[in-house]
Structure 1
Amino acid sequence: MNTVIFRTIAPLIVSTMVVFSVYVCLRGHNEPGGGFIGGLIAASAIAVLGMASDSESARRALHFDPLSIAGFGVLLAGFSGLLSVFNGNPFMTSIWIYLDLGGSVVPFSTPLVFDIGVYCVVFGTIASIALALESGDEEER
């Protein structure tokens, strides 16, 4: 799909999908959503970007290799579980910190860190697969 209209509107579609994926990821522990669904939405955005241009420009837009992002997500998710061990609790026990920012209290927790790790794993894995499939299609042309 290489039309002028699609190439023109794709950056708007991609940016909207990425912002929505972050929103879904951050609200995921209290409402429907989470790291898995947010990562799928973000990977779909990269796939749309790859379809609009080519897989190499989509890889350049990421600035990092998608599998490196997935590896970072695995480390982040594992680290969120280890924090409770250092606190003297069983592995993967939730730890909550309430930050006072500008007159409002913002809760920060290890489940949120775990969800961000899952987001990175799903995004990196699916984006890597999608970009590999798109680049395979370009080699045949």
Structure 2
Amino acid sequence: MSTLIFRTIAPLLTAVMLVFSVFVLLRGHNEPGGGFIGGLVAASSMAMYGMAMGPAAARRALRVHPLAIAGCGVTMAALAGMLSLFFRVPFLTGLWSEFYIGDTKVALSTPMVFDIGVYLVVFGTIAAIALALEDGESD
């Protein structure tokens, strides 16, 4: 399935889907969404790009091996959980930190870091599987 229309629209649709996946990731703390769903949307965009342009082009666009992305996500999620142990509270207890950039208050939390880790794990794993399957079906 590599029609001219699909190859033309795939890069634009991939970019839109990646931006939407970040929106779903960040929205997930207060409303439905989060790291898992955002990661699935992002991995779907890379799978679509791989179907349109070929798996080699998708791997070049990623620039990093998908399983390395998943490994970074596991590390990030584990560190978010272990950070609570340094404050003598149970594992995976949410911690918040607030600071100001100009007049804007920015709040960082360990649940957000954990969600980003989940996003990277899901994205990396599903992207690796999708690209491997696309490599296998080369004619």
Whether 1:45 aligns to 2:45 is yes
Pairwise CA RMSD = 0.8
Q: Which residue of 1 aligns with 2:100?
A: 100
Matches within 5 A, 1:47-66: 47-66=47-66
CA distance in 2, matches of 1:102, 1:115: 26
- After TM superposition, what 4+ stretches of structure 1 lie above 4 angstroms from structure 2? none
| Offset at residue 100 of structure 1 (A) | 1.2
Return 5+ residue gaps in structure 2 as ranges: none
- Per the normalisation by structure 1, the TM-score is 0.96
Matches within 5 A, 1:97-136: 97-136=97-136
Q: Which residue of 1 aligns with 2:91?
A: 91
CA distance in 2, matches of 1:74, 1:101: 29
- Cα deviation, 1:48-72, whole Å, max 9, x if unaligned, reads 1001110011011101110111111
Q: Which residue of 1 aligns with 2:11?
A: 11
CA distance in 1, matches of 2:90, 2:5: 54
Instruction: Give the fraction of aligned pairs with identical amino acids, expressed as a percent.
Output: 61
| Offset at residue 102 of structure 1 (A) | 2.5
Secondary structure at the aligned position of 2:29 is classed as coil
Return 5+ residue gaps in structure 1 as ranges: none
